[in-house]
Amino acid sequence: MKPSLSSLYQSVELRQEIPPLLVGERTNANGSKLFRERLLADDFQGCLQIGLAQEANGAQVLDLCAAYAGRDELADMTTLVSLFARSVKVPLMIDSTTPEVIEACLKLYPGRCIVNSINLEDGGQTARRVCALLKKYGAAVVALTISEKGMAMRAEEKIAIAQRIHDIAVGEFGLRPGDLLFDALTFTVGAGDENLRDAAVQTLEAIRGIKSALPGVGTILGLSNISFGLSPASRKVLNSVFLHEAVAAGLDAAIVDAGKVIPLARIDEKDRAFCLDLLYDRRSETVPDPLLAFIEHFKSATSAAADAAPAGNAFAGAEQAVFAQVVEGNKEGVEDNLAMLLERLTPLAIINQILVPAMRHVGELFGRGELLLPFVLQSAEVMKKAVSWLEPLMEKGADTQQTRVLLATVQGDVHDIGKNLVDIILSNNGYKVYNIGIKIPAETVIEQARALKADVIGLSGLLVKSAMIMRDSMAQYREAGLTQPILLGGAALTPRFVAESCAPEYPGPVVYCQDAFAGLKAVRAFEEGRLTSTVWSASGVAAVKPGARDVEIVRDNPVPAVPFLGVRYVEAIDPAQVFPFVNKQALFRGRWGYRRAKLLAEEYETLIRETVEPAYEGLMRRAVEEGLLSPKVAYGYFRCWSEGDALLVEDGGVTRRFDFPRQAEAPHLCIADYFKSAEEGGDVAGFFVVSVGEVIGREAQALYAANRYHDYLMLHGFGVEVTDGLAEYWHAAMRREMGIAGCEPQDQAGLVTQAYQGSRFGFGYPACPDLEAHRPVFAMLRPERIGVTLTENMLMVPEQTTSAIIAHHPQAKYFAV
Amino acid sequence: MRMICANCGYVYDPEAGDPLGAVPPGVAFEALPEGWVCPLCYAGKEAFDPLD
């Protein structure tokens, strides 16, 4: 049997077909500042993150070291080993020289690990104690070429010490030669120390010598020592070139920062020549000092390879490469790696054993706030590309066991970004998704659920009305005999509403899903037979609704003079005028999902500056250049008066009636309160319908259809927030026209908190959820002229359109009924 | 630490509290009741993101 290591999840051969075996070095309190800081802060989860990142970058084994002055190594290591054993897929290298710690970890670890390390510093006493443990628990070991005289510098010393350790481990304790990895140690060639000029040469010779003198043993090397003292960018290149040379000399494993290994092919020929001269200490007349030449070269050269993205997977197997590509959202060349995998695995095995676990890992990272939505979508694009490439190669009917999920946006609602995100996440996690579209009546859901034999039904909708429709259709689904789980998602839903108003009406589980990953979790729970309805415990804290006290609405505020009565249209608005009104926080964090979550303030700032702002600027530019936006407004001012909860609006001889709902709880607000009654002398109200046109929506749908999930999310979110920006922009224009713009907000934050006089209340939104109000609004404003029409369900088309009633009353602010 | 609502951009500043939600000044975001919602858009606590 080939010497291997294993974790709970997988085994790894010590001798890779394409060496070297990559051992991640960043989970080491002595080698990584970040790891040390987290360890000192008892942030074990944070330590784990570093390990997971190494794994994602292609590490096949993780070196774990918690030996640090002032810490309890035994306690730290046992905690970390238990945590890593559960959460990390690759096997561990227990990095300790203390036999008690080593034994505790070997006892604890649910697989076969490797110990780092033994040596002959004390003549072999400790090495023998550890060898006894290795034999007892069955583990491999790293042996350093250190003797009573210290670290061996010359090749022949290194080989001699290796021979002595071999005699102890194999001769005295009966370990298998294949379980020994000799580290011939290396020293820096970057310090200019005359004694170390040939350090690389000695190490490479020792690797060759050990391999020939001790048949069957392996070799390992901590790579980064070679370049100690040099600049970070040049170290990356030198380390990679040295690794290549060492592998050529017979190296089997390397301890590296897995994310920083550069494949040789990506290293510039010239860079490489300077590295080789330095490593082999080649002096010539033209290059009297290779070290100086190296430093000089890398000072001026902006090495392409040194700045390149991590490519630790180049040496690792194609399996790790594909896994890493999905996690990193890197599509490039995925077909080549898949083709390599096909030599050993069936297409279905590739999907189930590599791609789906990779997406699962992505989901876990998202769940922990370590991966943001746009990056998740890039991962999903890689998944989609990989599966599409594999699908034609699959045997027909090979996937009949897939769980089938029906998705629909409910009747009367056209919003489909949420539903489409669920589709993207579920279908790219291996489920069969039938996305039957928007505005789907309950009858169609029932019919399709039967026809498609859906195992799970997912219903979505943004509007307040959609939540009501979901609630009201539960009984219909029950009466139709459906019993499969129903997942509900949408901005207007709450767990409480689903638990109290929806779940009791339906026999199967009814589950609230906060986002697409909650949907994924629910489908998995269904497969495992443990999906249950959302529950709301009455013991939980009740929602604190803002302003929970009645307020007196002032009745004698002045009625502003409006510039005209009736309707006007504004059709030539430059998008550039609208952009300053876009709520960038809501766009970046809300619509796009670039939330700070666990990032440090500076890291988030960098993300915003280097990734998000440029994306936003690119979209603004594109929108203008390609005519994606054509902002238009239909608006007007009308005389009106309130009657109880109703507002009556005078429209050229016709009286239009708006019945507004009143809050059931304090402070019992109602939009009608902000307008004077006939007895109080009447009032004026503003109305508008604003739209950025249909092009941007069409463009977004095309991206979705082309599986460009990331760009779809970006463009869709951009359209939503520019539409809202247009509403802000026009609301400000109307405040100016009414002469109530005396205290205008100076920044975006002021717009958010309504630091202006009055308020706009959108139809279909919390203060007036009933879309029936669109009937009189359309009769008054006739926005068909700017290209906006109403569906039979009172929704406006195109999607990127919004409407509102404008109240000028100083006390009027957002509220929800 | 100030927290921002990812849905609408409202900023919860513990030094100011949330007068609309009857939260007095000096209450840390973490200490707000689970049922607390954004006073402007009614999103729950989970919609909030660290601002600084």
Distance CA B50, CA A585 (A): 12
Residue with more model confidence, A227 or A457: A457
CB-CB contact of A308 with A266 (8 Å): yes
Question: How many Å is the Cα radius of gyration of chain B?
Answer: 10
CB-CB contact of A410 with A470 (8 Å): yes
Kindly report the backbone phi and psi dihedral angles of residue A176, in degrees, each rounded to the nearest multiple of 5, phi listed first: -80, 135
Give the pLDDT score at A34. 87
Read off the pLDDT of residues A590-634 as tens digits, 9 standing for 90 and up. Answer: 999 999 888 888 889 999 999 999 999 999 999 999 999 999 999
A407 Cβ contact list (under 8 Å, min separation 6): A419, A422, A423, A426, A433, A434, A435, A436, A458, A459, A460
Write out the two tokens for A83. 């945590």
**Minimal Cβ distance to A752: which of B9, B20, B42:** B9
Give the pLDDT score at A396. 65
A589–B39: do the CB atoms touch at under 8 Å? no
Distance CA A528, CA A509 (A): 14
Do strands A146-147 and A150-151 pair parallel, antiparallel, or not at all (unpaired)?
Answer: antiparallel
Chosen from A549, A550, A752 to mutate, greatest number of chain B CBs within 10 A: A752
Distance CA A407, CA A428 (A): 15
Give the pLDDT score at A755. 87
10 Å CB burial of residue A538 (0-12, 13-18, 19+) is exposed
Q: Which residue from B minimizes the CA distance to A753?
A: B10
Question: What's the gap in Å between the CA of B42 and the closest CA on chain A?
Answer: 8
| DSSP type of residue A65 | B
Give the pLDDT score at A538. 56
B17 contact residues in A (CB cutoff 8 A): none
B37–A545: do the CB atoms touch at under 8 Å? yes
Q: Quick check: A724 pLDDT over 50? A: yes
Q: Say what percent of chain A tops pLDDT 90.
A: 63
A557 Cβ contact list (under 8 Å, min separation 6): A809, A810
Distance CA A488, CA A474 (A): 11
Give the pLDDT score at A253. 95
How far are the Cα atoms of A59, A221, A447 from residue A142, in angstroms, in the given order? 17, 10, 64
A150 Cβ contact list (under 8 Å, min separation 6): A121
B51 contact residues in A (CB cutoff 8 A): 596
Distance CA A680, CA A642 (A): 9
A590–B6: do the CB atoms touch at under 8 Å? yes
Secondary structure of A234-262 in HEC code, one letter for each residue: HHHHHHHHHHHHHHHCCCCEEEECHHHCC
Give the pLDDT score at A300. 66
Centre a 10 Å sphere on the Cβ of residue A302 and count the other Cβ atoms it contains.
Answer: 8
Q: Say what percent of chain A tops pLDDT 70.
A: 95
How many helices (H) and strands (E) would you count in chain B? Answer: 0, 3
Angle between helices A709-738 and A613-625 (to 10 degrees): 80
Kindly report the backbone phi and psi dihedral angles of residue A96, in degrees, each rounded to the nearest multiple of 5, phi listed first: -160, 155
Kindly report the backbone phi and psi dihedral angles of residue A799, in degrees, each rounded to the nearest multiple of 5, phi listed first: -60, -40
Question: What's the gap in Å between the CA of A470 and the closest CA on chain B?
Answer: 20
Distance CA A239, CA A62 (A): 19
Write out the two tokens for A86. 């559960």
A544–B33: do the CB atoms touch at under 8 Å? yes
pTM, rounded to two decimals: 0.63
B8–A586: do the CB atoms touch at under 8 Å? yes
B31 touches chain A (CB under 8 A): no
A590–B21: do the CB atoms touch at under 8 Å? no
Read off the pLDDT of residues A33-58 as tens digits, 9 standing for 90 and up. Answer: 889 988 998 989 889 989 988 888 88
**Residues A322-342: what's their mean pLDDT?**
88
B5 contact residues in A (CB cutoff 8 A): 590
**Residues A215-234: what's their mean pLDDT?**
88
Give the pLDDT score at A368. 77
A495 contact residues in B (CB cutoff 8 A): none
Confidence of residue A1 (pLDDT cuts 50, 70, 90): low
**Minimal Cβ distance to A546: which of B39, B46, B47:** B39
Please report which residue ranges of A167-253 form alpha helices under DSSP H. 199-213, 232-248
Secondary structure of A648-659 in HEC code, one letter for each residue: EEEECCEEEEEE
Confidence of residue A702 (pLDDT cuts 50, 70, 90): very high
Chosen from A544, A550, A607, A724 to mutate, greatest number of chain B CBs within 10 A: A544
Question: What's the gap in Å between the CA of B41 and the closest CA on chain A?
Answer: 8
B17 touches chain A (CB under 8 A): no
A544–B37: do the CB atoms touch at under 8 Å? yes
DSSP SS3 for B4: strand
Read off the pLDDT of residues A103-139 as tens digits, 9 standing for 90 and up. Answer: 999 999 999 999 999 999 999 999 999 999 999 999 9
B3 contact residues in A (CB cutoff 8 A): none
Percentages helix, strand, coil for chain B, rounded to the nearest 5? Answer: 15, 25, 60
A583 contact residues in B (CB cutoff 8 A): 8-9
B34–A541: do the CB atoms touch at under 8 Å? yes
**Minimal Cβ distance to B49: which of A544, A545, A597:** A597
**Residues A678-686: what's their mean pLDDT?**
96
Read off the pLDDT of residues A371-425 as tens digits, 9 standing for 90 and up. Answer: 888 889 999 999 999 999 998 888 765 555 789 999 999 998 888 899 999 999 9
Read off the pLDDT of residues A659-668 as tens digits, 9 standing for 90 and up. Answer: 999 998 888 8
Read off the pLDDT of residues B1-52 as tens digits, 9 standing for 90 and up. Answer: 899 999 888 999 999 999 877 889 999 999 998 888 888 888 888 889 998 7
Q: Which residue from A minimizes the CA distance to B8?
A: A586
**Minimal Cβ distance to B40: which of A540, A544, A753:** A753
B37 contact residues in A (CB cutoff 8 A): 543-546
Residues of A with CB under 8 A from a CB of B: 494, 514, 540-549, 583, 585-586, 589-590, 595-597, 601, 748-749, 752-754, 766, 814, 816
Closest Cα partner for A717 from A422, A331, A373? A373
Closest Cα partner for A733 from A675, A688, A794? A688
Give the pLDDT score at A102. 96
Question: How many Å is the Cα radius of gyration of chain A?
Answer: 33
Confidence of residue A307 (pLDDT cuts 50, 70, 90): very low
Give the pLDDT score at B26. 92
Chosen from B10, B40, B52 to mutate, greatest number of chain A CBs within 10 A: B40
Centre a 10 Å sphere on the Cβ of residue A96 and count the other Cβ atoms it contains.
Answer: 22
Q: Quick check: A266 pLDDT over 80? A: no
Centre a 10 Å sphere on the Cβ of residue A168 and count the other Cβ atoms it contains.
Answer: 17
Confidence of residue A540 (pLDDT cuts 50, 70, 90): very low
Kindly report the backbone phi and psi dihedral angles of residue A802, in degrees, each rounded to the nearest multiple of 5, phi listed first: -145, 155
B40–A814: do the CB atoms touch at under 8 Å? yes
B9–A545: do the CB atoms touch at under 8 Å? no
A212 Cβ contact list (under 8 Å, min separation 6): none
A546–B21: do the CB atoms touch at under 8 Å? yes
B22 touches chain A (CB under 8 A): yes
Give the pLDDT score at A313. 37
The rounded mean pLDDT for chain A is 89
Question: CA quadruple A790, A793, A794, A799: dihedral positive or negative?
Answer: negative
CB-CB contact of A467 with A449 (8 Å): no
Read off the pLDDT of residues A53-107 as tens digits, 9 standing for 90 and up. Answer: 888 888 899 999 998 888 899 999 999 999 999 889 999 999 998 999 999 999 9
| DSSP type of residue A552 | P
Q: Quick check: A304 pLDDT over 60? A: no
Type of residue numbered A711? D
Write out the two tokens for A578. 């609208």
DSSP SS3 for A30: coil
B7–A590: do the CB atoms touch at under 8 Å? yes
